[in-house]
């Protein structure tokens, strides 16, 4: 695997972020990957440490930040983690697996490590 992409279930940019926050407040928006990587509006310290320790780099993207091929592949599947195997895309973690991490960076790390081995 050359690279991983973590795709949030939200659009990026100011309007996308505001829409997501408003949706969270109303109970109409949720992203298990956001819960793992962020606390409030900033990345968790534990996530930053994991990013630098991973043997395969991970790029975090919002739905509207994906290149067309990746966007087509992940359409309707976000949040998720996708592996790029020399141009072949595969789902590494789906929404249910991300949800099972329960907002924990450590559980995410264990799950990813088992899939990379």
Please compute the mean of the pLDDT values over residues 58-64 and round it to a whole number: 96
10-14, 19-23, 34-38, 105-109: segment of lowest average pLDDT: 19-23
Tokens 């966007």 label which residue?
Answer: 71
Q: Are 3 and 57 in contact (CB under 8 A)?
A: yes
CA 64 to chain CA mean position, Å: 13
**Is 2.30.29 the CATH number for 3-116?**
no
What global pTM score does this model have?
0.90
For the residues 31-43, what does the mean pLDDT come to? 89
For residue 22, name the pLDDT band (cuts at 50, 70, 90): low
- 99-110 per-position pLDDT tens digit: 999 999 999 999
Q: Could you tell me which residue, 113 or 14, shows the higher pLDDT? A: 113
User: What percent of the chain shows pLDDT beyond 70?
Assistant: 92
pLDDT at 68: 97
Question: What is the average pLDDT score of the chain?
Answer: 91
| 56: nearest Cα among 3, 105, 5, 106 | 3
């Amino acid at each position: 695997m050359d690279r991983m992409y973590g795709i949030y279930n939200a659009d990026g940019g100011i309007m996308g972020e505001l829409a997501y926050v408003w949706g969270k407040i109303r109970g109409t928006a949720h992203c298990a990957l956001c819960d793992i990587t962020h606390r409030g509006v900033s990345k968790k310290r534990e996530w930053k440490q994991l990013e630098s320790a991973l043997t395969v780099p991970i790029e975090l993207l919002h739905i509207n930040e994906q290149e067309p091929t990746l966007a087509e592949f992940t359409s309707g599947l976000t949040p998720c983690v996708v592996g790029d195997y020399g141009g072949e895309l595969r789902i590494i973690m789906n929404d249910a697996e991300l949800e099972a991490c329960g907002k924990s960076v450590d559980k995410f790390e264990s799950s990813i490590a088992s899939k990379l081995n």
